[in-house]
Amino acid sequence: MGAVTSSIRGAFSAPKPKKVLMLSLDNVGKSTIFYRMQGNETAVPFPHIGIETEDIRHKRCTFRAWDVSSQAVSRRMWSSAFPDTEALVFVVDTSDRERLEEAAEELRTALAHDDMRGCRSVLVYANKQDCDGCLSVAEVTSGLGLPRVAAGRKWTVQSCIATRSIGVMDGLDWLEASLIGDA
């Protein structure tokens, strides 16, 4: 009898949110994307120290998004947020070609960490696609070394303009599909 009750309760209870970690260098638009994912088109992000978390319901999935501070001093503490991460959202400022190698190093370091073994999906937002001379999706993919760095994981690069919400939900669609098995 207890097994029947347990399986009935499981059929109607909400699934556990998927832990999604959001990382980037500073000033790339990560917090703007974080707010757009929540459907907030008017929030003006501000630099923060620490971690902001929010449950984001998207179609068939609930994400528990962790927006981790990007300030250089905070990056040393990123690893404290790594345990139980199922997906990584990494944001790149495509208008800042000179920081692509720094971004690549931070991404490599994060994905190589032992506590990131459970991270099975990597979504890279190539933000600020409206800027003259910005990096293309192909340049971001190559510059980050994604085929090598994210080997064994599902990954994609989504072009976006966070300030206008262009491409943000497309990335979230891919993330949902990758975590529930459709991608």
From the annotation, which residues make up the binding site for Mg(2+)?
31
Instruction: Find residue 154's DSSP bridge partners.
Output: 121
Strand ranges (E), the chain: 18-24, 51-58, 61-68, 87-93, 121-127, 154-159
Contact (Cβ atoms closer than 8 angstroms) between residue 46 and residue 89: no
- Cα separation, 32 vs 55, in Å, equals 16
Task: Give the helix, strand, coil percentages of the chain, each rounded to 5.
Answer: 40, 25, 35
- Binding site as annotated, residues for GTP: 127-130
Binding-site residue positions: 31, 127-130
